């Protein structure tokens, strides 16, 4: 990986990936991002000071622009992370998810295919598609974990659009021979996540003394994976995985939403002597709201295939969630003092 194109590289996971890629000073990195609402360009500030890291503002649905970028930059690896990813937004307005996640992936695959077919036959190339465990659907009612052979059963417009993009990637590999890899990750957490996602949303609302909304009974279960462990897995797969294969990336760290919000509240109770509105504990702010439409109860993925390649998560949950909460606390303090 000497010349790497990262789509969605100004987003939460994408920017964490760029940071790890940029640790190698001999590597050239082209970040392509439309800089929509969910982008966090500030997270890339230090990387963009390096001459080897370039940011291009553009839309993956723009085929001619993609063709020009491939011709100019000549990547040996594409990490495709550009996607609309918030389930609630997909329910309220699915059109953007169809456009970006399906049409955008098609345009990127075509640009990659045409570029790859013009490369010398002995040169390495990989189109790495980053997907989600949500394509496997709801695993409620059993202890079963989804392997890479598990059938697709997406529930939301978001997961259906991601599943569609997965099928396109597989088809371009099977039909055209495009060298691809694919990953499916569980719920990510860590610094720089967009504020409407669950953990930063809960911290921000708690600091404001606002109700902490939890869908339904709060017993929906997710496996929580630190973003730095996720991107380390992506690099490990690119180095040690096989073309044409898919790999689950999970932390084996299941938590219910209710357990999660309770742990965040208890951490804030210990760290903050002064609480908003004179509340005795942040747990009193937990508020159950009507459940999300089509809400999946349980996601669980089996990542043994990847672990057999030598990867394993490094960040323990208690350490990871504490450092993540501290990040949002410090950011809120900076905003309050600005």
Q: What is the pTM of this model?
A: 0.96
Q: For residues 110, 112, 118 and 124, what is the CA-based torsion angle, rounded to 10 degrees?
A: -150
> Which residues are CB-contacts of 263 (< 8 A; sequence separation ≥ 6)?
255, 321
Q: Which two tokens stand for residue 53?
A: 């890291």
Kindly state whether residue 17 falls inside one of the protein's structural domains.
yes
Q: Is residue 10 a part of any domain in this protein?
A: yes
Strand-strand pairing, 28-33 and 187-189: unpaired
Residue 236 lies in a domain: yes
Which among 188, 210, 196 is positioned nearest to 134, based on CA atoms? 188
* Domain of 229, in residue numbers: 3-190+224-252+300-315
Active site residues: 133-134, 158
Q: pLDDT per residue over 285-307, tens digit each?
A: 999 999 999 999 999 999 999 99
Note the pLDDT of residue 338. 66
- Domain-embedded: residue 78: yes
Question: Does the residue 42 lie in any domain?
Answer: yes
Full pLDDT tens readout for the chain, 338 residues: 999 999 999 999 999 999 999 999 999 999 999 999 889 899 999 999 999 999 999 999 999 999 999 999 999 999 999 999 999 999 999 999 999 999 999 999 999 999 999 988 767 999 999 999 999 999 998 889 999 999 999 999 999 999 999 999 999 999 999 999 999 999 999 999 998 899 999 999 999 999 999 999 999 999 999 999 999 999 999 999 999 999 999 999 999 999 999 999 999 999 998 888 789 999 999 999 999 999 999 999 999 999 999 999 999 999 999 999 999 999 888 877 76
Residue bearing tokens 């036959």? 121
Residue 254: burial class (beta carbons within 10 Å; 0-12, 13-18, 19+): middle
pLDDT of 250: 97
The answer to whether position 20 is within a domain reads: yes
DSSP code, position 291 = P
> What pLDDT is recorded for position 122?
65
pLDDT at 278: 82
Q: Could you tell me if residue 336 is inside a domain?
A: no
Two tokens at 287? 């508020």
pLDDT, position 165: 98
DSSP string, 116-178: HHTS-TTS--EEEEEEEGGGG---TTS---B-TTPPP---SHHHHHHHHHHHHHHHHHHHH--
What's the pLDDT at 123? 76
Instruction: Answer whether residue 320 is part of any domain.
Output: no
d(CA 40, CA 45): 10
Q: What is the CB neighbour count within 10 angstroms for residue 165?
A: 25
Give residue 120's pLDDT: 81
CATH number of residue 91's parent domain:
3.40.50.720
Rounded to the nearest 10°, the torsion over CA 282, 198, 251, 154 is 140
Q: Number of folded domains in the chain?
A: 1
Question: What's the confidence (pLDDT) of residue 304?
Answer: 98
Pairwise CA distance, residues 195 & 93, whole Å? 19
Q: Return d(Cα 173, Cα 16) in angstroms, integer.
A: 27
* Paired residues of 53 in beta bridges: 29
Q: Of 130, 160, 295, 292, nearest to 221 (Cα)?
A: 295
Identify the helix (H) or strand (E) that includes residue 333: helix 317-337
| End-to-end Cα distance, the chain | 40
């Amino acid at each position: 990986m000497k010349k790497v194109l990262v789509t969605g590289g100004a987003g939460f996971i994408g920017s964490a990936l760029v940071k790890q890629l940029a640790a190698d000073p001999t590597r050239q990195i082209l970040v392509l991002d439309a800089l929509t609402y969910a982008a966090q360009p500030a997270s890339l500030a230090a990387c963009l000071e390096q001459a080897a890291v370039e940011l291009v503002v553009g839309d993956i649905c723009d085929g001619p622009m993609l063709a020009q970028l491939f011709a100019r930059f000549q990547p040996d690896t594409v990490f495709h992370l550009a996607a609309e990813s918030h389930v609630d937004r997909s329910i309220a307005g699915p059109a953007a998810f169809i456009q970006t996640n399906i049409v955008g992936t098609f345009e990127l695959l075509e640009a990659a295919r045409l570029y790859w077919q013009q490369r010398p036959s002995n040169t390495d190339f990989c189109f790495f598609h980053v997907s989600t465990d949500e394509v496997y659907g709801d695993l409620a009612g059993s202890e079963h974990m989804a392997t890479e052979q598990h059938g697709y059963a997406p529930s939301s417009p978001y997961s259906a659009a991601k599943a569609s993009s997965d099928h396109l990637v597989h088809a371009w590999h099977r039909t055209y021979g495009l060298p691809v890899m694919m990953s499916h990750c569980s719920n990510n957490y860590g610094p720089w996540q967009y504020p409407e996602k669950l953990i930063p949303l809960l911290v921000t609302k708690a600091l404001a003394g606002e109700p902490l909304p939890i869908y339904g009974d709060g017993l929906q279960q997710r496996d929580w994976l630190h973003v730095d462990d996720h991107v380390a897995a992506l690099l490990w797969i690119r180095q040690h995985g096989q073309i044409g294969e898919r790999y689950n990336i999970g932390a084996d760290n299941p938590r219910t939403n209710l357990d999660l919000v309770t742990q965040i509240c208890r951490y804030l109770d210990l760290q903050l002597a002064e609480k908003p509105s004179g509340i005795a504990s942040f747990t009193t702010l937990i508020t159950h709201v009507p459940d999300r439409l089509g809400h999946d109860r349980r996601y669980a993925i089996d990542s043994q295939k990847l672990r057999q390649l030598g990867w394993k998560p490094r960040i323990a949950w208690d350490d990871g969630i504490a450092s993540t909460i501290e990040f949002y606390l410090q950011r809120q303090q900076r905003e309050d003092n600005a």
